[in-house]
Amino acid sequence: MRIARWTVLMVLFAGTAFAQRGPMARTPGSGPNLQALKTYLNLTDAQVTSLQTVQTSLRNAIQPLAQDLAAKTKALREENSKTTPDPNVVSQLKADIASLRSQIQTQRSNYQGQAQAVLTTDQVTALNKLEEALKLVVVAREAVALDLISGPEGFGAGMMRAPRGAGMMAPRRRGN
């Protein structure tokens, strides 16, 4: 059940980190395209609106924590790049980073309950099936990479290969 909640949140909260980045930030109403999830779970427009409201609330709740986390991570990188990093500073920054991650996790858990409460029993059942399918993503990508199966466009092997360019090998063709 916990992974099912994560699955919904991963789909619904995709881009949360990007939503906090300057000019590339999303504008209201420009959230992820939820049509496939809406169809699969048979979500109503009211449910989608409720889930988006929960998403916005979560984003607002974790934004200051994410900003602090980014600042602490940058400070840790800078400290570690010094010739002789101060072990006390490094230790404190690592503790601060762990605390911030924990706080973000707690916030996400709190909002997961709110998101799950929007779903019906049948939708939670369908979500559990989606969770099981998600467990197979890595295996499916590996099978596509070995040309054992064909995946949908943009899935699997093509994502793992380097882009074509000067001095790079062309991607291999099926059967070669």
For residue 45, give its domain range: 2-160
Q: What's the structural domain count of the chain?
A: 1
The tens digit of pLDDT for each residue in 70-85 reads: 999 999 999 999 999 9
Instruction: Evaluate whether residue 172 is within a structural domain.
Output: no
Angstrom distance (rounded) from CA 145 to CA 142: 5
Q: What is the pLDDT of residue 31?
A: 56
Residue 100 lies in a domain: yes
Cβ(112)–Cβ(120) below 8 Å: no
Half-sphere exposure of 125 (CA within 13 A, CB side): 4
Give mean pLDDT, residues 104-127.
92
Asked whether residue 168 is assigned to any structural domain, the reply reads no
- Per-residue pLDDT, averaged over 42-65, amounts to 94
The answer to whether residue 81 is domain-embedded is yes
Residue 49: inside a domain, yes or no?
A: yes
CA distance 53 to 50: 5
Any domain includes 167: no
Residue 100 pLDDT exceeds 60: yes
Which residue did the predictor score with more confidence, 66 or 15? 66
